[in-house]
Chains A and B, each alone.
Chain A
Amino acid sequence: MSLRIVVTVKYVPDATGDRHFADDLTVDRDDVDGLLSELDEYAVEQALQISENSDDDVEITVLTVGPEDAKDALRKALSMGADKAIHVEDDDLHGTDALGTSLVLAKAIEKAGYDLVISGMASTDGTMGVVPALLAERLGVPQVTLLSEVSVEDGTVKGRRDGDAASEQLEASLPAVVSVTDQSGEARYPSFKGIMAAKKKPVESWDLSDLDIEAEEVGLEGAYTVVDVAAERPARTAGTIVKDEGEGGKQLAEFLASQKFI
């Protein structure tokens, strides 16, 4: 038996850097340092663990939709241990929203062939957390999302989803779309050997025509939402800071009382 896993990984602006918008109110991806979204490292990690725990022949493909630099994200995932990579890149993709991104990813996943898709819980820039559900809807397969624990056996995926009101055990047959949270287990660091090996691993490049997608279906033009205003939040007015010299608790209580919290 063989198991084909596609891991979707996003290249995002560094959250600890100075993130901002470009003039057309899209996320500025040119002027800022980017990296593989940390939350997608957990997806790569779970794919590797499923592979290590499996008797099947497992092939892990990492897939990204993004600009030229997004190759860095693929390289990182390959150096962690993924087998091959697909980069979907096209000038017409600039400004694509979550619905459009899910279209491109779904077409690419179908073209690549898959038994299991693994995504991160959310991208660290858009933070919508909707792409995995959209992929399941588009591919017409079960969604087994937001898992803090995942396993695959005999064509069935099982996992634990820790929701607001309850913790649930989930089960679905393959093919399926999974997303994993940062509670699923620390992602490994690439080893030196892994980094060297990654240089020789295949990275395919596809554009929209390879996926039979028209330019109007994606990009700013194809987007289903419009951002009219993006304004930097005014800096908070500097607060009062006191040093505790025995009265700090009392002073703080005084402040809370003045604000009617007590």
Chain B
Amino acid sequence: MAEVLVYVDHVDGAVRKPTLELLTLARRVGEPVAVALGNGAADTAAILAEHGAVKVLTHEAAEYADYLVVPKVDALQAAVEAVSPAAVLVPSSAEGKEIAARLALRIGSGIITDAVDLEAGDEGPVATQSVFAASFTTKSRVSKGTPVITVKPNSAAVEAAPAAGAVEALAVTFSAQATGTKVTARTPRESTGRPELTEAAIVVSGGRGVNGAENFAIIEALADSLGAAVGASRAAVDAGWYPHTNQVGQTGKSVSPQLYIASGISGAIQHRAGMQTSKTIVAINKDAEAPIFELVDYGVVGDLFDVVPALTEEIKARKG
């Protein structure tokens, strides 16, 4: 069976969940060969093997942390040349898309970004995408070269599928462009202890209706009662009530959880763009005409300051 390259998103060897989802999808089109770069690359092998990687190509060098994007493109290109894969899959983060695009251009291939599903087809992998703020679903494929496809988080289930996961060193020669953009300082994001927004099974979001940074405590309390991540609309972020990293929507994160709870959010098209593919959608809004209610499986017309704390209490009571 043909090999499929999977680019591994990890932090010092800790593999992020979307990469494991990619292994599930990769197994539909071939044998997954993982590519892990930078500090801790070899530490990723055990969990990748558990989820189906037959091989893990690794390379550690300071360049991956010290310079932007290009060293990773150089390495992925080296992996493509070493393996001649049937496809290259990359997690759809902002950086993942940039890496994938430059790789595609270099190897003379087409690129598809933000796939939400992937199947094997007669003429290569077929990617499903959700476009125009999720009002359309498209199926596309790459018609020239080795398909390079980026896949959004939560597009497939993580499945155990033990494989050899043999670690092999990847030989990489950095290009002249590799050191073009220097990373002069890096401040890691502080962990909130809550799940990662894009990876979470449940997301609880607040908007302008939350009316103040201090009031986000009630959104957080609901999130914590469900083990959920916290999101915010751009209106709430622009007002300075919640960090931009938590923004859901076109210019924030795109989320696709099992359950999305929107409180005090009207449901503007740019917000929908980031949450409309959620499986179950719930909204609390005091305006019965708010467009968010067009999307919901369950909606409560009411004041969030009454409904959200009552909901949190009830959940805690039921969970005992």
Give residues in A with beta carbon < 8 Å to B: 15-16, 19-21, 25, 39, 97-99, 102, 121-122, 124-125, 127-130, 132-134, 136-138, 140-146, 148, 158, 161-172, 176, 181-183, 223-233, 236, 239-244, 246, 248-253, 255-257, 259, 261-262
Contacts and interface: CB of A to CB of B under 8 A. Distances in A.
Interface stretch (B20-28, B155-163, B207-215, B292-300): B292-300
Which of B132, B181, B185, B295 neighbours the largest number of chain A CB atoms within 10 Å of its CB?
B181
B151 interface: no
- Complex A-B, nearest 4 residue pairs according to Cβ-Cβ distance, in ascending order: A249-B310, A244-B302, A224-B110, A142-B180
A225 B110 contact: yes
Given A130-B101, A170-B183, A239-B296, A224 B145 contact: yes
Given A127-B114, A137-B106, A244-B306, A226 B93 contact: no
A171 B68 CA distance: 10
Contacts of A223: 110, 143
A17 to B, nearest CB: 9
A134 B130 contact: no
A121 B251 contact: yes
Contact of A253 (B112, B145, B186, B314): B314
Contacts of B258: 261
Interface stretch (B42-50, B134-142, B166-174): B134-142
A189 to B, nearest CB: 17
Interface string B85-117: 000000001110110111011100111111000
A142 B69 CA distance: 10
B135 A233 contact: yes
Contact of A239 (B244, B250, B297, B312): B297
Contacts, number: 258
A97 B269 CA distance: 24
B124 to A, nearest CB: 10
A261 B282 CA distance: 12
A183 B240 CA distance: 12
Given A167-B187, A172-B181, A231-B138, 20 more contacts: A15-B270, A25-B138, A98-B111, A99-B110, A125-B132, A127-B273, A137-B106, A142-B177, A143-B68, A168-B183, A224-B104, A225-B112, A225-B143, A231-B136, A232-B136, A242-B299, A243-B288, A244-B307, A248-B311, A253-B315
Interface of B: 11, 68-70, 73, 93-95, 97-98, 100-102, 104-106, 109-114, 126, 130-145, 177, 180-189, 198, 202, 226, 244-245, 250-251, 258-259, 269-270, 273, 280-282, 284, 288, 293-303, 306-315, 318-319
16 contacts: A15-B250, A39-B251, A128-B101, A129-B97, A130-B98, A164-B95, A167-B187, A171-B182, A181-B251, A182-B251, A230-B131, A236-B297, A242-B298, A248-B302, A248-B307, A249-B309
A6 B112 CA distance: 27
B118 to A, nearest CB: 14
A11 to B, nearest CB: 16
A186 to B, nearest CB: 9
Contacts of A257: 318
B141 A228 contact: yes
A11 B181 CA distance: 29
Nearest to B101: A130
B181 A171 contact: yes
Contact of B105 (A16, A134, A146, A249): A134
Contacts of A143: 68-70, 98, 180-181
B301 to A, nearest CB: 5
A217 to B, nearest CB: 12
A129 B135 contact: no
